[in-house]
Amino acid sequence: MADLASPAKTAAIINKYNFMFRKKFGQNFLIDASVVEEIIDAAGISEEDTVLEIGPGIGTMTQYLAERAGRVIAVEIDRALIPILEDTLSAYDNVRVINDDILKVDLNRLSEEENGGRPIKVVANLPYYITTPIIMALLEKEVPLESITIMVQKEVAERMKTGPGSKDYGALSLAVQYYSEPVIVTEVPPHCFMPRPGVSSMVIRLDRYKEPPVTPKDPDKMFKLIRASFNHRRKTLSNGLSTDPSLGLSREKVTEALEKMGLPVDIRGEKLDLAQFAELSDQLC
């Protein structure tokens, strides 16, 4: 393996192809081999696995994945990186590179084609600007997933992991925790990337639940309530939910539901956990 996880080798590839970093794609390439290995160890990659890598860049982590996994599908949006990937991954016959936007790829069909519909593992160094849409697309579209091991901005990882009462707690926390168990792996400082980002990063693994930890009668209704609660974060639930036009709820109805649950009528959404939001949703359905 031509290990690309160093400043000198990454710079050499970039110079060879006159590659220009493009801000719109949020490109920050890993240049620390120990971090790459820690990510792959955390994902538990073995030769039995089919791995989806989002944003392979110049193929640094892709090479490590190809050494361990049975099959790697790497989806890269930047056409300028495709010739580089053809070069850096030429030694591997178990890697398929797809030049596309991950949000436009039919991941269920891809999983069926590449892994017979069996659960795949996702490993990625995600662009910060589009982290949340990618995570939610992976979780909500019912793609057969075993786990998602990703590098994200530190504050986003903390938001996914945190619980009620924290300033970071919100709709993302609850959505992630409905579909998966989040596990913080490690913090990664800016000097581990080229170019250096302005913030620290974290590796987090999301272990997909076979069944959600709560079973609301209408999950869509529950998530509408959750989004409305945090859209009006400074308001009490009875005020925030009753003034949200998408819900069509009266203040009296919300207050009555909270009282039935034994909760204060002036409680805010940031105080409710996932089970309580599920119960509130059922009360209001």
Instruction: State pLDDT tens for residues 7-58.
Output: 999 999 999 999 999 888 889 999 999 999 999 999 999 999 999 999 999 9
Which one, of 94, 158, 150, lies nearest residue 122 by Cα?
Answer: 150
The neighbouring-strand residues paired with 53 are 74, 123
Inform me whether the pLDDT recorded for 141 exceeds 90.
no
Q: Write down the pLDDT at residue 2.
A: 65
Residue 153 in this model has a pLDDT that exceeds 90: yes
Looking at the DSSP bridge assignments, the partners of residue 184 are 204
> Domains plus CATH for the chain?
7-208 (3.40.50.150), 219-284 (1.10.8.100)
Q: Is the pLDDT of residue 177 over 90?
A: yes
From the list 123, 191, 179, the residue with the least C-alpha distance to 151 is: 123
pLDDT at 128: 86
CA atoms within 13 Å, Cβ hemisphere of 43: 34
Tell me: pLDDT of 200 over 90: yes
Average pLDDT value over all residues in the chain: 95
What local confidence, expressed as pLDDT, does residue 1 receive? 63
Q: What is the distance between the alpha carbons of residues 219 and 44, in angstroms, rounded to a whole number?
A: 31
Mean pLDDT value of segment 122-138: 93
Give me the pLDDT at residue 278, please. Answer: 98
Beta bridge partners of 186: 203
pTM of the model: 0.93
